[in-house]
Homo-oligomer: A and B are copies of this chain.
């Protein structure tokens, strides 16, 4: 019978030193002993990519993306070679694989290429020979044979794509946290690790600022129904969080997590003439500049004028303000102002689909704490509110309690049976 296959991805801190690389090799050995085949995807050693980016910026104001890709892809090649050596020195047959050797073909959008297909012929052959494959993450090649990279968090995407191409049973993402939490533990001391979340929830969480997984990686896993496990490479026996499709037999908790994002800004346009087509006049130039508007509200005001506010990422504020000042002039609107002292608080839960009253509970909880909601938006499994930034911590904590996440029972306490040390007979 063919052995089941597991793809494991180790991030930059997990392979950040030779000592850490040896720990990873030990973990792979343990996994292999459970009777599975292992394919490993590695990031560059922590700090290496930043060092290379800094050199590039020093030598050239605006380096060409093709050259950036050649430069940045070197870090993952180094860590895959080193981890392969560490495995070999433990007597485990292992083979390094670059993006090209693993057959990861992408489009030609350098520094943020998208995967087109994986030709896993060589990988499959190497697995037949009982090798652990150690794949340089984050990179592929385009049609011309030039090196491309997949953008931030690309190694996670490499791992999931490879798991799909090789028909793996699951894809494990090893990182420096123990899984997905109900809230940021630095903000909410009572935050609990989740044992399971659905792809939909994880997608909302990732797009709302949960840094544990990149959106693209979750989208990929969702599309191909590949079970994802996020766990710690530091904690022995970490069970992590399973991200998979919703189990219809299981009652969904109402809310799975509370997210916050302080990196938000709001732009307000006063006295906008209330005419058809005016919204297009405002938002088309914003979209044309590649800026993403998040929430929009419009206050109906008297005398054929209205005030309009929208939010977007803080780093896009300056560019958006330049555009909005031009727009305001053109459409004969009033003053343009901005506010970057805001936060977005979001409540995510697949259980919302079948429950109402989530928004009401949010309003009630926040108003009790005298926290004003400036804007609000909802989706099927999410409610987001904009509030003043100074209230962020209080808001997250009060909502965490209100949705009974503080008391969420954890089922991660299962003890893992460690293999008993064998006693040698003398």
Contacts and interface: CB of A to CB of B under 8 A. Distances in A.
Interface of A: 18, 21-22, 52, 55-56, 58-64, 66-68, 70-71, 73-75, 77-78, 80-82, 84-86, 88-89, 95-96, 98, 100-101, 145-147
Contact of A59 (B22, B63, B64): B22
Given A59-B86, A70-B80, 7 more contacts: A55-B82, A60-B85, A60-B86, A64-B84, A67-B84, A67-B88, A68-B81
Nearest to A76: B74
Contacts of A145: 100-101
Given A52-B78, A70-B80, A145-B101, A89 B22 contact: no
Nearest to A64: B88
**How many copies of the polypeptide does the oligomer hold?**
2
A71 B67 contact: no
B18 A55 contact: yes
A119 to B, nearest CB: 12
B81 A96 contact: no
Interface of A, helix, strand, loop or mixed by DSSP: helix
Contacts of A75: 74
A74 B71 contact: no
A306 to B, nearest CB: 48
A89 B59 contact: yes
A21 B59 contact: yes
A85 B63 contact: yes
A89 B70 contact: no
Q: Which of A55, A59, A98, A145 has the most CB of B within 10 A?
A: A59
Q: Which of A52, A61, A81 has the most CB of B within 10 A?
A: A81
Nearest to A101: B145
A63 B78 contact: no
25 contacts: A18-B55, A52-B78, A56-B81, A56-B82, A60-B85, A60-B88, A62-B89, A63-B85, A63-B88, A63-B89, A64-B88, A66-B95, A67-B84, A67-B96, A70-B77, A70-B80, A70-B96, A71-B82, A74-B74, A74-B75, A74-B77, A74-B78, A77-B77, A101-B145, A101-B146
